[in-house]
């Protein structure tokens, strides 16, 4: 194996994301990342805290990327248009990068303020979507969790190729309209 000099933390993250994209979360290891970088696995310890540190750093990077996609999807939009745009962006990213999506769900250590701040990007997008419906604070939390749960469930089933036959685009559109109706009803009742 040829030794590549001068790798950086960003190089390690890029190689880790490539492993996720090409081979999935189960294939992620220090050895698989080191092989892509043409270094020995111990060389990675200068940049990440072992496999748990690599997973944490990849989770943070993927969460930031996903949060930015979601944030951008709702900029300048409100109401049903914001829900549709958010849902489409969520599905597109989560199904294009299923292992990155999975790693965003790695639990966040309560003391890890950097990851918590990164997760707030996606949460801010959810809140922006819900805010446009005039829902009070307590109900907005419920509506946001419902929206996120529906998106997660649909994309997971789709990623696992467990949706069965049919027009999945039509299924998704139906789900989104169902969510919009429910969120509008919650807004009307407050």
Q: Which CATH number fits domain 55-188: 1.10.357.10, 1.10.150.120, 1.10.645.10, 1.10.15.40?
A: 1.10.357.10
CA 171 to centroid of chain Cα atoms: 21
Query: Residue ranges of the domains in the chain?
Result: 1-48, 55-188
Q: Which CATH number fits domain 1-48: 2.60.40.10, 1.10.10.10, 3.40.50.1820, 1.10.10.60?
A: 1.10.10.60
- Say if 1-48 and 55-188 have the same CATH topology: no
**Alpha helices in 29-162, H assignment, sequence order:** 30-37, 50-74, 79-96, 98-104, 113-131, 137-159
**pLDDT by residue, tens only, the chain of 190 residues:** 445 568 999 999 999 999 999 999 999 999 999 999 999 999 999 999 999 999 999 999 999 999 999 999 999 999 999 999 999 999 999 999 999 999 999 999 999 999 999 999 888 899 988 988 888 888 888 999 999 999 999 999 999 998 888 899 999 999 999 999 999 998 777 6
């Amino acid at each position: 194996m040829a030794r590549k000099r001068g790798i950086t933390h960003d190089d390690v993250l890029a190689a880790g994301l490539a492993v996720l994209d090409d081979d999935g979360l189960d294939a992620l290891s220090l050895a698989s990342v080191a092989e892509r970088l043409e270094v020995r696995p111990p060389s990675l310890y200068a940049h990440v805290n072992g496999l748990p540190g690599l997973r944490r750093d990849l989770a943070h990077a993927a969460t930031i990327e996903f949060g930015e996609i979601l944030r951008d999807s709702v900029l300048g939009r409100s109401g049903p248009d914001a829900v549709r745009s958010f849902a489409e962006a969520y599905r597109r990213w989560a199904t294009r990068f299923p292992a990155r999506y999975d790693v965003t769900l790695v639990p966040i250590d309560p003391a890890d303020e950097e990851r918590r701040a990164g997760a707030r990007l996606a949460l801010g997008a959810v809140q922006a979507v819900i805010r446009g419906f005039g829902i009070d604070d307590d109900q907005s939390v419920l509506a946001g969790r419902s929206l996120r749960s529906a998106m997660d469930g649909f994309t997971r089933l789709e990623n696992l190729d467990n949706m069965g036959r049919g027009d999945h685009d039509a299924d998704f559109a139906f789900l989104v309209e169902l969510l919009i109706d429910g969120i509008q009803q919650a807004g009307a009742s407050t």
